[in-house]
Amino acid sequence: MAETIVFLNKDALIIKSPKKSSSPVSRLIVLIFSMVFGVYICSICFKQINIQTKNTFLDIEVIQRPCYKAFIDRSQIPFLHYPNPKTFKRLECVGNPVRLFAILSMQRSGSGWFETLLNSHINVSSNGEIFGQKFRRNNISSIIKTLDSVYNLDWLTSSSKNECSAAIGFKWMLNQGLMEHPKEIVDYFNDKGVSVIFLLRRNMLRRLVSILANSYDKDARILNGIHVSHVHSHEEASKLSKYKPTINTSSLTLDLREMEVTAMKALQFFNGTRHMVLYYEDLFTNPSKLEQVQDFLKIPRMELTSRQVKIHKGALSEHIMNWVDVNKTLYGTSYEKFLQADY
Ligand SMILES: *[C@@H]1O[C@H](CO)[C@@H](O)[C@H](O)[C@H]1NC(C)=O
Ligand SMILES: *[C@@H]1O[C@H](CO)[C@@H](O)[C@H](O)[C@H]1NC(C)=O
Ligand SMILES: *[C@@H]1O[C@H](CO)[C@@H](O)[C@H](O)[C@H]1NC(C)=O
Ligand SMILES: *[C@@H]1O[C@H](CO)[C@@H](O)[C@H](O)[C@H]1NC(C)=O
Ligand SMILES: *[C@@H]1O[C@H](CO)[C@@H](O)[C@H](O)[C@H]1NC(C)=O
């Protein structure tokens, strides 16, 4: 009996001893043990995260993302990015998601005006016609390299904003390499969750007038010897619109048809992306279109403004030198609707 008591006492002593005497060596052992165990648990967690996301195209972004805010709709996750730009820090907005977009359009279809409207939004950066430079669209690898740089917020233009951009994009003309690599670009857009805004013009005859006038001004430089494609005052607009182009009526029907086919092909090629189709005419006559665009980009609605002024206003007959011929050529055809002043 006495022995058992002694034993129990000894046991009690042994159990208590680390607490009481806690030598530096044993504390170190406990510390090392808990560190090793902690690292082990962390590595298991990361492995699980990796396994969960391995099959999605997002693995890097998903692991790097800051915590999702509770209100984010999970169906939106493929469209949300948390870029880590090389050129600056996103500071207090590092946790705000960024959406990617591309405006697919054709020259003289209102894309310059549309971009100034978008850029008046505090959270939007639309970086202009970046593929206007040929070397950026030479081949698909330079196209993708350029896209990566833009979408990582590392493309510096006057419209690139600060750390709080929530939507980042640019405008891309259909004749700038886009139609040569549709498959690769659609894959890229879908992998990255890029939203596409088609900005098209219904009235291709008005577009043609604008193309011819703009092309004339490249040499004529009507405004103080400077060529401009967009103006900011009614005086400038009326000076520019005094020039009336002569339209080649022998190729007119074919030219209009070609423009329509190009637009239609683009709609087909990029139909598999998340997209919306916007017509310049609707943007002009229906202010709620801009709200639809903001909803599509999932940015807070704001009043969007632009200083640009429309150059060719009113009836087309006022803007075409050989109007009688043009009217004769299109009257009674499916393009007759283009002759009417639609806005
Ligand atoms: C693609 O174009 C870039 C720039 O024009 C050039 O430097 C590069 O060598 C080209 N790559 C291929 C694979 O042709
Ligand atoms: C928009 O920008 C403002 C100011 O820069 C910022 O406070 C806000 O969080 C941004 N909104 C979004 C949705 O990122
Ligand atoms: C008008 O179009 C026709 C047919 O395409 C072409 O042969 C002719 O050279 C064009 N005329 C002018 C002045 O460009
Ligand atoms: C785009 O796809 C939808 C659904 O598959 C189809 O109904 C529509 O006709 C397509 N549009 C074009 C322009 O190909
Ligand atoms: C176009 O031509 C038709 C037929 O000659 C004529 O009735 C119509 O008034 C013309 N339209 C305009 C806007 O000149």
> What does the domain layout of the chain look like in residue ranges?
74-340
- Which residues have C-beta within 8 Å of that of residue 136, sequence separation ≥ 6? 130, 142, 143, 146
Distance 329 CA to ligand 4 centre (A): 32
pLDDT tens for the chain, residues 1 to 343: 444 444 444 444 344 444 444 566 666 665 666 666 555 554 544 444 444 444 444 444 444 455 455 566 667 777 888 887 877 777 777 878 899 999 999 999 999 999 999 999 999 999 999 999 999 999 999 999 999 999 988 887 776 667 788 999 999 999 999 999 999 999 999 999 999 999 999 999 999 999 998 888 888 888 888 888 888 888 888 887 888 999 999 999 999 999 999 999 999 999 999 999 999 999 989 989 999 999 999 999 999 999 888 888 888 999 999 999 999 999 999 999 999 866 6
Distance 247 CA to ligand 3 centre (A): 10
Contact in structure between 178 and 268 (CB atoms under 8 Å): no
Three-state DSSP at 144 gives helix
Q: Which helix (H) or strand (E) holds 326?
A: helix 323-330
CA angle 56, 60, 66 (to 5 degrees): 110
Q: How far apart are the first and last CA of the chain?
A: 109
CA angle 315, 129, 213 (to 5 degrees): 30
What is the reported pLDDT for 4?
A: 42
Distance 315 CA to ligand 5 centre (A): 12
- Which residues have C-beta within 8 Å of that of residue 64, sequence separation ≥ 6? 82, 84
CA distance 184 to 182: 6
CA distance 322 to 169: 40
Atom 13 of ligand 3, residue of closest alpha carbon: 248
Contact in structure between 119 and 51 (CB atoms under 8 Å): no
What is the reported pLDDT for 157?
A: 73
Cβ of 123 less than 6 Å from ligand 2: yes
DSSP characters over 182-223: HHHHHHHHHHHTEEEEEEE-S-HHHHHHHHHHHHHHHHH-TB
Cβ of 22 less than 6 Å from ligand 5: no
Give me 136's structure tokens.
């950026």
What is the reported pLDDT for 304?
A: 94
What is the reported pLDDT for 20?
A: 43
What is the reported pLDDT for 23?
A: 66
Give me 123's structure tokens.
């959270």
Give me 63's structure tokens.
């692991």
What is the reported pLDDT for 76?
A: 76
CA angle 223, 227, 229 (to 5 degrees): 100
Give me 87's structure tokens.
């050129």
pTM comes to 0.79
Ligand nearest to the Cα of 98, by number = 2
How many other CB atoms sit within 10 Å of the CB of residue 328? 11
What is the reported pLDDT for 216?
A: 80
The candidate with the shortest Cα–Cα distance to 131, out of 97, 178, 70, 88, is 178
How many other CB atoms sit within 10 Å of the CB of residue 155? 21
Ligand nearest to the Cα of 316, by number = 5
Distance 256 CA to ligand 5 centre (A): 19
Tell me which amino acid residue 123 is: N
Distance 319 CA to ligand 3 centre (A): 20
Q: Could you give the count of Cα atoms lying within 13 Å of 136 in the half-sphere of its Cβ?
A: 15
Identify the sign of the CA torsion 229, 234, 236, 242: positive
Cβ of 164 less than 6 Å from ligand 2: yes
> What CATH code would you report for 74-340?
3.40.50.300
Give me 25's structure tokens.
């060596």
What is the reported pLDDT for 292?
A: 97
Cβ of 152 less than 6 Å from ligand 5: no
The candidate with the shortest Cα–Cα distance to 115, out of 221, 271, 214, 230, is 230
Contact in structure between 204 and 259 (CB atoms under 8 Å): yes
E strand intervals along the chain: 99-105, 124-126, 167-169, 171-173, 194-200, 275-279
